[in-house]
Amino acid sequence: MDDTWSFVTTQVIPGLNLGFWATVQLAVPSALFGLFAGIVVGVLRVYGPRPVQRLANGYVSLFRGTPLVVQLFCWYFGLPQICLFIEGLPSVMAVLNVLHLAWMPRLLVLSPMGSAILGFAMCSGAYHSEYVRGGLLSIRIGQIKAAQALGMSPWQTVRHVVLPQAVRRALPGCGNEIVYLIKYSSLASVVTVNELTGMARGIAKSTWRNTEVFFTVGLYYLLLVTLATFILGWVEDRLALPGFERRRE
Amino acid sequence: MNDSDIILKVEGLSKAFGDKPVLQDATFTQRRGTLKVLVGPSGGGKSTLLQCINYLIPPDRGRVWLDGHQINPKSRRELSDYRQQVGMIFQDFNLFDHLNALENVRIALVKVKGMDKREATARATQELARVGLGDKADLYPAQLSGGQKQRVSIARALAMDPKVLLLDEPTSALDPELIGEVLTVIKDLAQAGMTMIMATHQISFSAPLADEFLFMEQGRIVEHGSPAELLGRDCCSRTQAFCAKLSELAGDTGA
């Protein structure tokens, strides 16, 4: 037992602390960008012009329909392939050179962290948009008519009347997605980001002590999720409206 | 009758949902400061007519003039300008649930009229006081009674300085004991010279205030005339028969 304790404190925890920060650096921007993407896409799916609705629906089908690992591979390994392809086209490069834009294809080569955040945000956004869509559809048509009767444009109506209420209703679902995101951030290790799970796997491999390592890493995720739940609950309370308070009993 | 006296003119408004006509060829003119009352059975087209007037329901055919200017509903800018001048009161209030009473009244002043926030707050406070809700500014719709909600919605419409007010059964969703407070506000408005078109079943309330009754049935205005003409004891109009039945049901002999 003493041996286990000293193993965990001296070898596991210092390594996992590094991974912990990597996970935080991954999850926080992914959650924020994902939520933003979800709100934009959700609004477009409900109120956008027909072709834009189709496009947004296509995005959701694609990102909900394919495994996240595959998506991460595409961002990390697939985009540089496209970069090489473009750089292999003399005519295109000639044009870019003239425009002093020859550096542009290189933008497709993302760092491990960058591609993971992009991948998580895009995938998360697809799920968020579904919660946001549900929230938007739950707003009574009467309020929309009242806003229009006051002279609001469709965009003003969405921005000032529908969205503030829809986001509140979508929040519990979006919180669920953020909690889920924290855990699927472990997939970033497949594109070489040394986040919690990546670090844990490394430690386990070199010490052969899987049980202690993965049990400890489980506690780290539990801590992160508890923290996120607390923050989400606080946000929900801050945004609560009289008559629509959540009941905790 | 002086032409400049006419504030609103509606010509040939028609609307069909699928192949079911719900509004057929509604035509009338309205003079400044008058109250027109729409009566008739449910599904008769009263609500559709009101919502076609401000294009909340786009009519299939027909034209509308406000103050001698024909409205072009295809122009967003013009439609917004027009709607700002035509207030609308709904049967189920349609307050914005995420805003308190003051913010409900203020939001269009700031976002649509581009009014300075402080100025808009002062105006909204004034309008709430006018409908007797000066002390309820901080309350959210869920904290207000039905009658109070309807008065906030009236304040919200009045704050825009409308030239015409459309009221779609403003008391139908209210408990009987709350109807009075809303009717008082409407009566004050009528006496202050607000131009209004109101769909209602409150015959005995509206008859003394109304300049004209329009009786609507199956999407058509089938009768129109002054309350005295249509509701006279020896008159055998459809309006009279319908109103008599309403009064009978309500146990009301005042009409």
The answer to whether residue B248 scores a pLDDT higher than 90 is: no
Query: In this complex, do B81 and A149 lie within 8 Å of one another by their Cβ atoms?
Result: no
Q: How confident is the model at residue A248 (pLDDT cuts 50, 70, 90)?
A: low
Q: What's the CATH superfamily of A2-47+120-239?
A: MetI-like (1.10.3720.10)
Q: What is the average pLDDT score of chain A?
A: 91
* pLDDT for res A33: 97
Q: How confident is the model at residue B254 (pLDDT cuts 50, 70, 90)?
A: very low
* pLDDT for res B250: 67
- Among B113-117, B237-241, B247-251, the range scoring the smallest mean pLDDT is B247-251
Query: In this complex, do A244 and B87 lie within 8 Å of one another by their Cβ atoms?
Result: no
**Phi, psi (rounded to 5 degrees) for B21:** -70, 125
User: How far does B253 lie from chain A, in Å, by closest CA?
Assistant: 35
Of A30, A112, A125, the closest CA to residue A76 belongs to A112
Q: How confident is the model at residue B255 (pLDDT cuts 50, 70, 90)?
A: very low
Q: Which residue range forms the structural domain that includes residue B132?
A: 3-250
- ipTM for the complex? 0.90
CB–CB of B109/A148 below 8 Å? no
Give me the percent of chain B exceeding a pLDDT of 70. 95
* pLDDT for res A246: 62
Of A71, A97, A75, the closest CA to residue A86 belongs to A97
Q: Directed axis angle between helix B101-111 and helix B117-130, to 10°?
A: 130
Nearest to A152 among B88, B97, B112 (CB): B112
* pLDDT for res B223: 87
Q: How confident is the model at residue A92 (pLDDT cuts 50, 70, 90)?
A: confident
Q: Choosing among B95, B97, B164, which should be mutated to test the A contact, i.e. which has the most A CBs within 10 A?
A: B97
Each residue's pLDDT tens digit, B188-209: 999 999 999 999 988 888 888 9
- The CA dihedral of A34, A39, A45, A46, to the nearest 10 degrees, is 160
Q: How confident is the model at residue B35 (pLDDT cuts 50, 70, 90)?
A: very high
Whole-prediction pTM: 0.85
Tell me, yes or no, whether B50 lies in a domain: yes
User: Which amino acid belongs to residue A178?
Assistant: I
Each residue's pLDDT tens digit, A122-178: 999 999 999 999 999 999 999 999 999 999 999 999 999 999 999 999 999 999 999
Query: In this complex, do B142 and A146 lie within 8 Å of one another by their Cβ atoms?
Result: no
Tell me, yes or no, whether B255 lies in a domain: no
Tell me, yes or no, whether B209 lies in a domain: yes
Q: How confident is the model at residue B72 (pLDDT cuts 50, 70, 90)?
A: very high
Q: Compute the C-alpha angle A204/A210/A213, nearest 5°.
A: 70
Residues on chain A touching B51 (C-beta within 8 angstroms): 145
Of A175, A179, A139, the closest CA to residue A159 belongs to A139
The answer to whether residue B91 scores a pLDDT higher than 70 is: yes
- Residue that the structure tokens 């469709």 belong to: A154
Q: How confident is the model at residue A102 (pLDDT cuts 50, 70, 90)?
A: confident
Q: Where are the alpha helices (DSSP H) in A88-191?
A: 90-98, 112-137, 141-149, 154-157, 163-184
Estimate the share of chain A in helix, then strand, then coil, as percent rounded to the nearest 5. 85, 0, 15
Tell me, yes or no, whether B39 lies in a domain: yes
CB–CB of B160/B109 below 8 Å? yes
The answer to whether residue A194 scores a pLDDT higher than 50 is: yes
**What total of structural domains would you count in chain B?**
1
Query: In this complex, do A151 and B112 lie within 8 Å of one another by their Cβ atoms?
Result: yes
Q: How confident is the model at residue B105 (pLDDT cuts 50, 70, 90)?
A: very high
* pLDDT for res B116: 94
Nearest to A148 among B83, B107, B157 (CB): B83
The span from the CA of B34 to the CA of B197, in Å, is: 8
Q: How many CB pairs under 8 A join A and B?
A: 77
The span from the CA of A30 to the CA of A36, in Å, is: 10
Query: In this complex, do A146 and B88 lie within 8 Å of one another by their Cβ atoms?
Result: yes
CB–CB of A10/A203 below 8 Å? no
Q: Output the domain CATH number for residue B240.
A: 3.40.50.300
- Among A141-145, B75-79, B141-145, B224-228, the range scoring the smallest mean pLDDT is B224-228
Q: Compute the C-alpha angle B49/B51/B55, nearest 5°.
A: 115
The answer to whether residue A180 scores a pLDDT higher than 90 is: yes
Average pLDDT over residues A220-231: 95
* pLDDT for res B234: 66
Residues on chain A touching B94 (C-beta within 8 angstroms): 140, 142-143, 145-146
* Chain A interface with B: residues with Cβ < 8 Å: 140, 142-143, 145-153, 156, 160-161, 164-165, 168, 241-244
Residues on chain A touching B95 (C-beta within 8 angstroms): 143, 146
* Residue B134 DSSP one-character state: G
Q: How confident is the model at residue B249 (pLDDT cuts 50, 70, 90)?
A: confident
Hey, is B87 helix, strand or coil? Answer: strand
**Phi, psi (rounded to 5 degrees) for B70:** -75, 135
The answer to whether residue A249 scores a pLDDT higher than 60 is: no
* pLDDT for res B253: 46
The DSSP H or E segment spanning B120 is helix B117-130
Give the nearest chain A residue to B153 (CA atoms).
A146
Each residue's pLDDT tens digit, B122-166: 999 999 999 999 999 999 999 999 999 999 999 999 999 999 999
Average pLDDT over residues B181-189: 92
Give the nearest chain A residue to B81 (CA atoms).
A151
Residues on chain B touching A138 (C-beta within 8 angstroms): none
* Residue B104 DSSP one-character state: H
